[in-house]
Amino acid sequence: MTVLVLALIFLVTSAGSAESLALSPAGEAGAATSISQPQELSQSQKLIASLTKYYVGVLRKGPKWSTESPAALEDAMLKRQEALRSLAKQGKIVGTARMVDVKEVWALIFFKTDNETEVRELAANAKLIQEGVLDFAAYKVWGTKGLGAGLGKESGRDTLYLVVAVKGDKWSGKTDETTRSMMDSQTDYLVKLHTSGALRFSCTMESDVEFARGLLIVAAASEGDAYRMISSSPMVKAKWLEPSVYRVIVPHGTLP
């Protein structure tokens, strides 16, 4: 696991998990004879304790990408609408975020499945991946709950901003008190954004990958506003993370 995931776990377990805080049954081997009183979790701890596993599929331009590829992708999406709806109904695909200005990455797909093999098998059936128009990579992440809860219940799309955070110049790989303090401050900031409605989704990669340390989807008036919003976060200000911001199209019902 990466230092971000370890630090998130450390923050929760330093006070006990949500379940262990809510109930401490007596009578178990080595348990105290009296029932411990539940402790109130902070908003930051509640956010961390609610993280769930997803797989993020990243679709990049492949070796056979051409000027005709965007039109081919639109046509392929129309033809596969029923298949995509079926996967959404099964809860296997819980959302997409498509880049407005395609540079390297064309889109992200969020999966809620048990293992990476199933994700890769689903992707392998896509004709444009088979033909090399797109490349596909999958990453396990821990993210906020609720993706895809409203898919299929309403039509339309939202224009939002994807923040891709990579290691900054001052990145620290240590799991010490400094990291804990920084993660606590960062999580407090994200909770404020979430409470205000600006932060719609956030996740951190489980493994150390070059693509990103974490991803956020935010609502903002412009790309500049989104960049300023995330640049005010403690880890970006301290140069632990370096963000890039991209305008994306997200179907209604993807985000809570």
The residue ranges of every structural domain in the chain are 3-20+39-51+158-251, 53-156
* Closest of 55, 56, 58, 68 to residue 133, by C-alpha: 68
Strands 134-143 and 214-218: unpaired
pLDDT band at 238 (very low <50, low <70, confident <90, very high): very high
- The beta strand positions in 26-113, using DSSP E, are 52-61, 93-99, 105-111
At residue 39, the pLDDT reads 64
**C-beta separation of 92 from 111 below 8 A:** yes
pLDDT band at 22 (very low <50, low <70, confident <90, very high): very low
* Closest of 199, 204, 55, 91 to residue 142, by C-alpha: 204
Mean of pLDDT over the chain:
82
pLDDT band at 3 (very low <50, low <70, confident <90, very high): very low
Give Cβ neighbours of residue 79 (< 8 Å, ≥ 6 apart): none
For 15-39, what is the mean pLDDT?
Answer: 40
CA distance 95 to 115: 17
CA distance 37 to 21: 8
DSSP 90: T
**53-156 and 3-20+39-51+158-251 share a CATH fold:** yes
Write out the H or E segment, with its range, that includes residue 128: helix 127-130
CATH number of 3-20+39-51+158-251: 3.30.70.1060
Is the pLDDT score of 35 beyond 70?
no
Write out the H or E segment, with its range, that includes residue 85: helix 81-89
Q: Coil, helix or strand for 105?
A: strand
For 126-144, what is the mean pLDDT?
Answer: 92
At residue 16, the pLDDT reads 36
Query: Whole-model pTM?
Result: 0.81
- CATH superfamily membership of 53-156: Dimeric alpha+beta barrel (3.30.70.1060)
